[in-house]
A and B are shown apart, each in its own frame.
Chain A
Amino acid sequence: MKRQQVTIDGNEAAAYVAHKTNEVCAIYPITPSSNMGEWADQWSAMGIKNIWGTIPHIIEMQSEGGAAGAVHGALQTGALTSTFTASQGLLLMIPNMYKIAGELTSTVFHVSARTVATHALSIFGDHSDIMAARSTGFAFLGSSNVQEVMDMALIAQSATLKTRVPFIHFFDGFRTSHEVQRIEQLSDDDIRAMLNDELIIEHRKRGLNPNNPVLRGTAQNPDVFFQARETGNPFYVKAPELVQETMDEFAKIVGRKYKLFEYYGAKDAESVIVIMGSGADTVHDTVDYMVDKGEKVGLLKVRLFRPFSAKHFVKELPKSVQKIAVLDRTKEPGATGEPLYVDALTAINENRVNGSTPLIIGGRYGLSSKEFTPGMVAAVFDNLKQAKPKNHFTVGISDDVGKTSLEYDKELSVHKGKMFRGMFYGLGADGTVGANKNSIKIIGETTDFFAQGYFVYDSKKSGSMTVSHLRFGENPIRAPYLINKANFVACHQFVFLETQDMLKNIEQGGTFLLNAPYSADEAWDNLPLKVQEEIIAKELKVYVIDALKVAKQTGMGVRINTIMQTCFFAISGVLPKAEAINSIKQYIRKTYGSKGEEIVAKNYKAVDETLSHLDRLQVPDKTTSNIILKSAVPDEAPDFVKNVTGKIISGHGDDLPVSAFSVDGTWPTGTTQWEKRNIASEIPVWNPDICIQCNKCAFVCPHSVIRPKVYFDDLLEKAPETFKSTRVRGREWEDGEVYTLQVAPEDCTGCALCVEACPVKDKTDTKLKAINMEPQLPLRQTEKENWDFFLSLPEVKRERVKHDNVKGSQLLQPLFEFSGACTGCGETPYVKLASQMFGDRMIIANATGCSSIYGGNLPTTPWSKNAEGRGPTWSNSLFEDNAEFGLGFRLTIDKHAEQARELLEVLRPKIGSELVNEILNADQTTEKGIFEQRERVAKLNDILEGFKSSEGKRLLSISDNLVKKSVWIMGGDGWAYDIGYGGLDHVLASGKNVNILVMDTEVYSNTGGQASKATPLGSVAKFAAAGKPTFKKDLGMMAMNYGNVYVAQIAMGASDIQTVKAFQEAESYEGPSIIIAYSHCIAHGINMRYGLDQQKAAVDCGHWILYRYDPRREEQAKNPLQIDCKKPSLPVADYLYKETRYKMLTKSMPERAKMLLTEAEKHVKHKWQRYQDLANTTAQQSV
């Protein structure tokens, strides 16, 4: 029977088998494995059954630790159970994995292998997580490509039942988990044939059951533990044979043959590379290429890494082998070598080949998805050829410090036969990736071509560039690396040509498709010089379309995906034109059919209109342009930024050597200012004549690009011609002081939140406000000069302005600026505000999530410093431990401050009593007090510099802790409500002086919108696809229960003044404080421009109650709880149905939506009553 061909990625392939073969899945989102859980959840929600005709039960847990616990429990009661995870998630599962393996329990965990965070977090792929779990007793079965993922998922499921050894089935994160390939899908019959009912019944029988009670999980003592631990040995001894048997059975049923270790290459190979994961495919094709050239080389693919069968390993090696290079995609510092290398050494030493031992060396490659290319494979073989090959080498980087790296040929290309290799440069929002995924499906499913797609995304969440790498060909595609020789390049956004050398990878005579705001005739003169040169030199065929024009004409707005896809098919010749257009239309129906006939019709029209607008550019003989590619950072940037950051920005980070980096992951702050992204098409323009100088625009700006300053007008002498200023309002200012509101034109993302926040309307033309959006391009140069001048003006002295109101807070310099957060982000205005109020003495622990990504993702980071060099210092530990991590900061500061005070007493005679007393008794409750204490400590340090005693030196090293520091623990709701809640609760209970900011988007935003316990009832999210049926957890109420915790719930769109007050009060409270901040989010499915209106609506309808609970008020016999908003007046539906997360349910499950709305309305009423009661009751008790 012919099996169905499907074009899917690795995650979907694994999830497909897991969902077919399990009864229970306990899941938790983590990149890059989240999609597996999402697929399983979605299929169950759609009622899709497993092979036994029942719908698997999918449950989201609060962490991977929780998921592992639930899996363990389900397994111990006999359910076929699975989970999906990666990286830190796998590490959190380790304790349970020991238990599950120790109890010889059959299960398969599917892991998209990802880097474990060390000196830095990385979401990308390597085997460090797998290796960290290798001692748990699980079997480890690896897949090299998407087809193998589907096959091995089933082989693992079958083998775990046979062997009773639990399995990790792993494949490379992103490279395989996200690579789209055309593969053959296993049928239900295949799956059924591979799973033995008897073994499943045995698995169930081993489950705990009161009808046959047993006890498992005893505590054992020195007398018996050891012996009992050895009882499982026979299972591990037998396991490899049983896995091979399973592979053989699979081969009989399906046809594809696999081995535990699989040799490929020359029969008389002398040099062999041992490798597992996707890299094996790269070696495979390179070996082919080299063998054709007469080289005696080969490859040993490792599939079953644990239990490691030395016997099979040695048997599979060709007898001729003399030298072996074992490649590990991980690093184990301090070890004698990386794990696979050590295993290979042991295996060969214990099982000598022909009496002589080949030379074995080990090397590292591909950490964090670092490219692993044929050139690198060739370099490894070259190394083996040397008389004394380099051992413990690295390949793929330049290690100028440890000298471990191998030189390699970056250009080597090994593919055979005709193969289409296309690169498509798109803007995140323009649908390029989606259209390319459809193109692969069209080609994969309508032709006999093999097809592959891989997508590279930006590190920024707004204005990001995507690069799609597509390969199609007659031969199987084993190329798990990016295209470096393209025969087709498409530029979907003309502006990219200003910064990206996208033709560097195109081969001679290739095709270049350009979307330009020009006709084919006009386009040439508007191309940068380098682009013209490359087009001429490489004799490219160039096609031009004004896709935006076609999109607008056909009602597509700014989405040019369908148009560019049509162009691609029209000129690439991959399919006959008519057939291609027919297929595109079929996929349009597939993609948009459920979203309305009009959307389908619009896309059809776009397809039909495209070809008449697509023209071939007649390439002139000579260049005409004087436009040159922009340098990544300006000349005035610091050296590090120019030499390191600039290279990363311009896409040359791979070329940086080891010596470019700090040894411990430390980076300078304040680097976003050097990366001018120019992503806004429109920017706000100030009208000083009607501005009331309320500073609300600056307050809400997510990117700190709109700033006010007050300064003396004599400074205006050197101002650029178009620089604006006006008389400053307010009696606190002196004569001659003026006010300016300035926009950073190149850093603005164009979200327009500021315009929405502006309370002023022009009395003669009410559509105008005191700031209005205008096109950026004509303003760019003049406003850039104005911005530079603005920055040169002195900052307002901190002690001159009130910090507890909106206007004053915005005259404080933001020390968080130009982050890569989404345009119109609802979180960053809070972060920025904190940086303004406390930034010069702030230390931040940031939970992993959106805020750690826009806060700490390279190449540039937004936390910055003031003119004195002070500013927030920031670190991200993990997702789950952030509260504890921040508490640690507090402990150090408190301890060092205490020691400093002790040493002050010891050294009092030498320092002088007056200064000591002043320092010890300083009042630091005000900005002025802190400023004066800083001055005193500076004076103290001057004195201490002259001390030679140990006490003096010790005091000097910690004296800065005598100045008040502000500890902030920040993160999202996924951290605070779910994975980090235990720690958060403990820190709240500690009584320590820390400030916690929870930016509550009510969903796991960073990993793509999975439900958290903060997700409200009725809201659709991943893992709550039919609308969350349970209420949002009331975190604030839980925190208030302690009585001694300052708690505030805020929403700046509803009350900016309450927001400022809450920050000020929280920070001044000498105990634990928590602020829960409503943060509108792209994951809500709203127009981000109106995010603040939605915040207000959330409050007005009663969903989000504004309050502050200040324990200090009890001392004044006042009610500690103040409700800061009015009784709900807006119908709940008026808030909910402005957001896609709620509204979509009314379109798909209207009855359920109605039921959930009724529940939500009831809940809002009850909640309001509860809060009212609490406020009133407590008040009466207090009086």
Chain B
Amino acid sequence: MNLKTKYLGFELDNPLVPSASPLSKDIDMAKRLEDAGAPALVMYSLFEEEIYHEDAELDHYLANGSDSFAEALSYFPDEMHDFKAGPEEYLEQIRLLKEKLDIPIIASLNGVSIGGWIEKAKLMEVAGADALELNIYYLPTDPVQSGAEVKDIYFDILKAVKGKVSIPVAMKIGNAFSALPSFAKKIEDAGADALVLFNRFYQPDINLERLEVEPSLALSTSDEIRLPLRWIAVLRNQVKMSLGATSGVHTAEDVLKLTMAGADVTFMTSALLKYGPEHISRIKTDLLQWMEENEYASLDQMRASMSMKNVTDPSAFMRANYIKILREYQQNN
């Protein structure tokens, strides 16, 4: 009985990959994840904004007020500091993770424009990253921008990144796309080695007392697996690239369902933040126990067994599913 899977060309012991989160900022924590059985690790994201703005900010404040007043020609002893500016800190972390861990390290790059930040993909590869996850969080707010134009941004960035590196690249997307199968196919055509569904965007909230928009962080729940579950089931037999499921993976049941829908890997963040890195080994135990009880020899055996193509009633993943739920609701009430 085994939990093996393949993702981005890597043979993984199991599909329980920690996705991008602050856990990878801490080497000790990363080591605990590996010890608990994580088969690979997606690092926290390096944001386009970080590359541009943090450096600019540091430069601005270190120089702010200098050379203005005779007694205080500067305020910081910055000349002796060798700053790990922009991606340096991140690249250093890749190196460290590669040095301390044996599992594949997937670096994560997050941005929305074609620009200098894309160059950092190559630096990540040089620093030792085994693969890249490209996370594009583009929020279209311009009324004259069409859906096709928005999608072009994704293809263009992906192509640009693929043109820089020779390591595999996974594309992580949000769920607000029309014609997802066609979009996924084009992403594959543009060179993606995997597609990760879906990015869980943190939605802003309004603080009624301060009348301010605030970021709000809510951890996912198992309910949320259903959206990726549906789309992985739909896409599984339409694309060849690896498919990763993310959002709401908390339990062995979640992993089983997503695997049956066709996921190659099932990413986790909220559960690990909530229960700690050792949660991976608990899920592994639960998975094996379930498989034993239900006489499955491997995850490969069940993978995609309930994809749209393989289920008895494919319409369950389509509009019919919606009608069915409504009818059941009416009958029950």
Which residues on A are within 8 Å of B, measured CB to CB? 31-32, 34-35, 38, 41-42, 45-46, 123, 174, 178, 428-429, 431-434, 455, 457-458, 460-461, 464, 466, 557, 592, 594-599, 601-602, 761, 766, 822, 853, 1005-1009, 1020-1023, 1025, 1082-1083, 1085-1087, 1140-1141, 1143-1144, 1147-1150
Contact = CB atoms under 8 A, between A and B. Distances in A.
Contacts of A466: 67-68
Given A598-B116, A1025-B80, 19 more contacts: A434-B67, A458-B69, A592-B59, A595-B58, A822-B65, A1006-B72, A1008-B73, A1009-B72, A1009-B74, A1020-B77, A1020-B81, A1021-B77, A1023-B77, A1083-B65, A1083-B72, A1085-B61, A1086-B61, A1087-B61, A1148-B82
Interface in B64-111: 64-86, 88-89
A730 to B, nearest CB: 24
Nearest to B57: A1140
B116 A123 contact: no
Given A464-B69, A853-B71, A598 B83 contact: no
A1022 B77 contact: yes
B67 A596 contact: no
Contact of B76 (A592, A822, A853, A1144): A1144
A455 B211 CA distance: 48
Interface stretch (B1-9, B48-56, B219-227): B48-56
B29 interface: no
Contacts of A1009: 72, 74-76
B77 A594 contact: no
B285 to A, nearest CB: 33
Nearest to B213: A766
A198 B105 CA distance: 60
B323 interface: no
A434 B63 contact: yes
B77 to A, nearest CB: 4
B62 interface: yes
A174 B73 CA distance: 12
7 contacts: A434-B63, A434-B66, A457-B68, A594-B83, A596-B86, A1006-B71, A1007-B71
Contacts of A1149: 81
Given A123-B71, A592-B59, A595-B62, A1140 B83 contact: no
B45 to A, nearest CB: 17
A331 B268 CA distance: 78
A45 B81 CA distance: 10
A1072 B89 CA distance: 51
Contacts of A1085: 61-62, 64, 75-76
B58 A1008 contact: no
A1142 to B, nearest CB: 11
B76 A1141 contact: yes
B59 A457 contact: no
A38 B73 CA distance: 12
Instruction: Identify the 3 closest CB pairs spanning chains A and B, nearest first.
Output: A428-B68, A596-B55, A596-B85
A1083 B63 CA distance: 10
Contacts of A766: 211-212
Given A41-B77, A1008-B73, A1147-B84, A598 B68 contact: no
Q: Which of A46, A433, A1148, A1149 has the most CB of B within 10 A?
A: A1148
Contacts of B212: 766
A359 B63 CA distance: 54
A51 to B, nearest CB: 20
Nearest to B212: A766
Interface of B: 51-52, 55-56, 58-86, 88-89, 116, 211-212
B89 A1008 contact: no
A853 B81 CA distance: 30
Nearest to A456: B70
Contacts of A1008: 71-75
Nearest to A433: B67
A680 B77 CA distance: 29
Given A598-B56, A822-B65, A1082-B64, A457 B78 contact: no
A601 B85 CA distance: 13
A694 to B, nearest CB: 16
A766 B63 CA distance: 33
B271 to A, nearest CB: 23
B55 A599 contact: yes
B82 A761 contact: no
B72 A594 contact: no
B75 A1082 contact: yes
Nearest to B74: A1008
A428 B65 contact: yes
A67 B64 CA distance: 30
Nearest to B69: A461
Contacts of A431: 63, 67
A596 B59 contact: yes
Contacts of B65: 428-429, 461, 822, 1082-1083
Given A466-B67, A761-B211, A1025-B77, A599 B56 contact: yes
A597 B86 contact: yes
Contacts of B67: 428, 431-434, 455, 457, 466
A31 B71 CA distance: 6
B84 A1148 contact: yes
A466 to B, nearest CB: 7
A457 B72 CA distance: 10
Given A457-B68, A1009-B72, A1021-B77, A1140 B62 contact: yes
B318 to A, nearest CB: 43
A766 B210 CA distance: 10
Given A428-B68, A761-B211, A1085-B64, A595 B77 contact: no
A1144 B63 contact: no
A503 B82 CA distance: 42
A594 B83 CA distance: 5
B71 A1147 contact: no
Nearest to A1086: B61
B71 to A, nearest CB: 4
A898 to B, nearest CB: 41
Contact of B70 (A42, A123, A1147): A123
Contact of B79 (A42, A458, A460, A822): A42
Contacts of A41: 77
B59 to A, nearest CB: 5
Q: Which of A34, A429, A595 has the most CB of B within 10 A?
A: A595
A953 to B, nearest CB: 46
Contacts of A35: 73
Contacts of B77: 38, 41-42, 45, 1020-1023, 1025
Contacts of A457: 67-70
A123 B70 CA distance: 9
Contacts of B51: 596, 598
Q: Which of A42, A455, A598, A1141 has the most CB of B within 10 A?
A: A598
B64 A1007 contact: no
A428 B69 contact: yes
Contacts of B73: 35, 433, 1008
Nearest to B67: A433
Given A429-B64, A594-B85, A1082-B65, A1140 B70 contact: no
B83 to A, nearest CB: 4
Q: Which of B56, B77, B88, B212 has the most CB of A within 10 A?
A: B77
A707 B140 CA distance: 44
A557 B61 CA distance: 13
Given A598-B55, A599-B56, A1144-B83, A461 B68 contact: yes
Contacts of A1140: 58, 61-62, 76
B80 A45 contact: yes
A1144 B80 contact: no
A822 B64 CA distance: 11
A1082 B61 CA distance: 9
A149 to B, nearest CB: 18
Contacts of B84: 1147-1148, 1150
B89 A1144 contact: no
Contacts of B86: 596-598
